[in-house]
Amino acid sequence: MSEQLNIAVVGATGAVGEAMLSILAEYGFGDANVHALASERSLGKTVDFGRRYLAVEVLDDFDFAGCDFALFSAGGGISLKYAPRAAEAGCTVIDNTSAFRLDPEIPLVVPEINGDLLENLDAGSIIANPNCSTIQMLIAIAPIYAIAGINRINVATYQSVSGAGSEGMEELARQTMDRLSFKDVKPSVFAQPIAFNAIPVIDTMQDNDYTREEMKLHWETCKILRDDSIGVNATAVRIPVFYGHSEAVHLETSRDISMEEVREAMHKAAGLVLIDDTDPKAQVTAVTHAAGKDEVFVSRLRRDHSHPRGINLWVVGDNVRKGAALNAVQILKMMVTGKMPVET
Ligand code: A2P
């Protein structure tokens, strides 16, 4: 690897791409030679990178040879087409889309949980970044899994519109103004009106009547925890919040465990903040705790009164940061330094 790192950000004009650029600068890569890549539509634009502006380059014309890392977040189709080309050119790809997540040959990584998979990877490897909802749920429950195992998880997600990219945020803003001005709203990104509403569909419907977003929570949890015996039963809901996903998680451990042991394990876990307080004003929310932060926050931790091994918790995280851009940069940082980017 050359002295000055060469890093490409694919989808640099998008919601996650912009966050990748600012987190790269924050996480010690401000001196790297960074290429901001997007479509021809963005030719002539500039994007912020630390104290610099970068001219946007067109992905189609870009040669990945000489690039050490490429962070992809421009949609699954773009990753399927260009990530293997980048990898063949010797550039290590960290892909934020679902294109490669379930490929058994490709590591699916949350550094705090299975960062060991990053050891000894060759240049030109592809690494997959998990789904935003999976990442924050696993940061919260991995400490419980480590000490007591988990048989089953029921989870309802309350997901912000930034998960649908900049167009999702624009649709919420536009519909909110239209509703308040008594105008008709016209859904386009989302299947139903999103302003002042909750939509129980994210991603496409599957043959089993779950959505793909819901099944990702199951598939990715099993892969990351390396345990196919866990059942994840999810309902994924889009709500009119700009940044930060929330999740009501109800799980059953495999072994008996006291709530004191659970609290202790969660307090020690990297990247996780447990607020153990029953005051309504202390409860964590997407807007007050998650948005703009690196950690995943948990409150409402309690024993499920209907099951002796049941545990309930409320989890919030910034879906654009830890759920996407930050996790990708942490993977990059761990590969460059060989160290865990998050202190315990
Ligand atoms: P562009 O702005 O040029 O369309 P978001 O998820 O916030 O909607 O962002 C999607 C990102 O993916 C944007 O940076 C967008 O660039 C990029 N993108 C979309 N289609 C292409 C493409 N065909 N080639 C390169 N980048 C693309």
**Tens of pLDDT, residues 111-120:** 999 999 999 9
CA distance 57 to 66: 16
How many other CB atoms sit within 10 Å of the CB of residue 180?
A: 10
Distance 212 CA to ligand 1 centre (A): 22
Q: Are 164 and 190 in contact (CB under 8 A)?
A: yes
Query: What is the residue with the minimal CA distance to atom 21 of ligand 1?
Result: 39
In the chain, the percentage of residues whose pLDDT exceeds 70 is 98
Which of 21, 40, 42, 62 to probe ligand 1 with, by most ligand atoms within 8 A of CB?
Answer: 42
In the chain, the percentage of residues whose pLDDT exceeds 90 is 97
How many other CB atoms sit within 10 Å of the CB of residue 208?
A: 8
Angle between helices 15-24 and 326-337 (to 10 degrees): 40
Q: Which two tokens stand for residue 248?
A: 């009501």
How many other CB atoms sit within 10 Å of the CB of residue 150?
A: 24
Active site residues: 132, 245
pTM: 0.96
Residue type, 205: M
Which pLDDT does position 338 carry in this prediction? 87
Query: What is the residue with the minimal CA distance to atom 6 of ligand 1?
Result: 165
Which pLDDT does position 3 carry in this prediction? 75
Query: What is the residue with the minimal CA distance to atom 18 of ligand 1?
Result: 74
Task: State yes or no: pLDDT of 174 exceeds 70.
Answer: yes
Distance 75 CA to ligand 1 centre (A): 8
Distance 144 CA to ligand 1 centre (A): 38
What average pLDDT does this structure show over 25-34? 97
In the block, tokens 């307080």 appear at 277
* pLDDT tens by residue, 269-305: 999 999 999 999 999 999 999 999 999 999 999 999 9
Which pLDDT does position 339 carry in this prediction? 82
Which pLDDT does position 342 carry in this prediction? 61
Query: What is the residue with the minimal CA distance to atom 24 of ligand 1?
Result: 39
How many other CB atoms sit within 10 Å of the CB of residue 78?
A: 19
* pLDDT tens by residue, 37-64: 999 999 999 999 999 999 999 999 999 9
Which of 9, 10, 13 to probe ligand 1 with, by most ligand atoms within 8 A of CB?
Answer: 13
CA-based nearest residue to 110, from 276, 269, 245, 252: 269
CA distance 37 to 56: 6
Which pLDDT does position 83 carry in this prediction? 98
Which pLDDT does position 343 carry in this prediction? 53
Which pLDDT does position 91 carry in this prediction? 98
Rg of the chain over Cα atoms, rounded to whole angstroms, equals 20
Residue type, 165: G
Query: What is the residue with the minimal CA distance to atom 12 of ligand 1?
Result: 74
Distance 28 CA to ligand 1 centre (A): 25
Task: State how far Cα 144 lies from the chain centre.
Answer: 20
Bridge partners, residue 316, by sequence = 246, 297
Atom of ligand 1 nearest to the CA of 166: 7
Q: Are 265 and 289 in contact (CB under 8 A)?
A: no
* pLDDT tens by residue, 296-343: 999 999 999 999 999 999 999 999 999 999 999 999 999 999 887 665
Distance 14 CA to ligand 1 centre (A): 6
Query: What is the residue with the minimal CA distance to atom 16 of ligand 1?
Result: 38
* pLDDT tens by residue, 197-234: 999 999 999 999 999 999 999 999 999 999 999 999 99
Handedness of CA 149, 120, 68, 89 (dihedral sign): negative
Which pLDDT does position 327 carry in this prediction? 98
Atom of ligand 1 nearest to the CA of 59: 25
Element (DSSP H or E) covering residue 336: helix 326-337
Q: How many CA atoms lie within 13 A of 133 on its CB side?
A: 32
Which pLDDT does position 344 carry in this prediction? 42
Distance 5 CA to ligand 1 centre (A): 24
Residue type, 19: A
Which of 39, 47, 79, 170 to probe ligand 1 with, by most ligand atoms within 8 A of CB?
Answer: 39
Query: What is the residue with the minimal CA distance to atom 15 of ligand 1?
Result: 11
Element (DSSP H or E) covering residue 6: strand 6-10
Atom of ligand 1 nearest to the CA of 40: 3
What mean pLDDT value characterizes the chain? 97
The pocket around ligand 1, CB under 6 angstroms, is made up of 11-15, 17, 38-39, 41-42, 59, 74-75, 78, 165-167
